[in-house]
Amino acid sequence: MVKGVIFDFDGVLVDSERKKFNDLRFILGEQGLRLGEDVFSVFIGKKTRSFLEHEFPTLVGSRLDAVLKRREIMQFQDLKKNKLIVGVRDLLRFLEMKKAVIMISTGSKRKFVEELLKVHKIRHYFSRIISGEDFSTSKPDPECFLVALRQMGLKPDYVIVIEDSAAGVAAAKAANIRVFAIKTYSKEAELSGANKIFNNALDLLDYIKKNYSNL
C-alpha cells in the first residue's frame, strides 16, 4: 500500500507554467531572442537555467544571469494569477486523512513555492519541500526524486509521484518510483511512460479514492 506521495509543483499543484513561460518570452524578446510556442512542452518540468542553456547556447555569463534574475522577480508579480489546480485541495485532504507522507519535489525556487502555498493555504499538508536549491541537476535526471525518497525514509515501492511533464515522468521512472501523470499541459503521448495518465486532478482523485488500499 502507498505510504508516501511526492508532488511536482508547477502544473500539478498550481497552474503556473504558462505564466512562467510568457514571462520568459517577454524577457528574451528584450534581448532580441525568440522563444517559440513549439518549445513549451520542452520547457515544462525543467529548471529554467537548464532549459536556457540547451535552447540558447549563446546566452551565457552575465547575460544569462540577468535573464534568470529578471524572471525570478517577475514570477512574484501577480502571484494570484497562478491558480490552484482544480481537485488538488480535495486530493490533499484525502491523503492527509489516510496518513500518507506528502512532499513536494520541484525545480522551482523554495521562496516561490512557499509563497504560493501560503497564498492557497495548503502549506500545512506537506511534511517537506525539495526545491531547486536542494539538487544540482534538472529533470529528466532522477536526483530530485532520489533526494525526496531519502528525506521520506521510504522505499520506492511504497511511493507514488504525481507529475505533468515528460521530463518529470522520465525522472520518476529513473528513480524506480511509480508515477501518475495529469494532462495539465502535455498530450497523452508525451506522458506515455507514466504508470497511469489522467485527464485532470479530479480524475486522479477519483481513481485514488477507489483504489487506495490496492496502490
| The three three-digit cell numbers of residue 23, written as one number | 514571462
pTM (two decimals): 0.94
Domain that holds residue 72: 17-79
Q: What is the pLDDT of residue 175?
A: 98
Q: Based on the fold, state whether residues 32 and 88 are members of the same structural domain.
A: no
Q: Based on the fold, state whether residues 10 and 38 are members of the same structural domain.
A: no
Q: What is the pLDDT of residue 136?
A: 95
Give the residue from 79, 95, 127 where a domain finishes.
79
DSSP H helical segments within 98-213, as ranges?
110-119, 143-152, 166-174, 201-211
Q: What parts of the chain have a pLDDT lower than 70?
A: none
**Residue located via cell numbers 509521484:** 161
List, for residues 87-129, the tens digit of each pLDDT value.
999 999 999 999 999 999 999 999 999 999 999 999 999 999 9
Strands 83-84 and 14-15: antiparallel
Q: Based on the fold, state whether residues 116 and 203 are members of the same structural domain.
A: yes
List, for residues 188-198, the tens digit of each pLDDT value.
999 999 999 99
Domains of the chain: total: 2
Give the residue from 62, 79, 96 where a domain finishes.
79
Q: What is the pLDDT of residue 1?
A: 86
Q: How many CA atoms lie within 13 A of 196 on its CB side?
A: 17
Q: Based on the fold, state whether residues 154 and 128 are members of the same structural domain.
A: yes
- CATH number at 88 reads 3.40.50.1000
Quick check: 84 and 120 in contact, CB under 8 A?
yes
Q: Based on the fold, state whether residues 110 and 199 are members of the same structural domain.
A: yes
Q: What is the pLDDT of residue 32?
A: 93
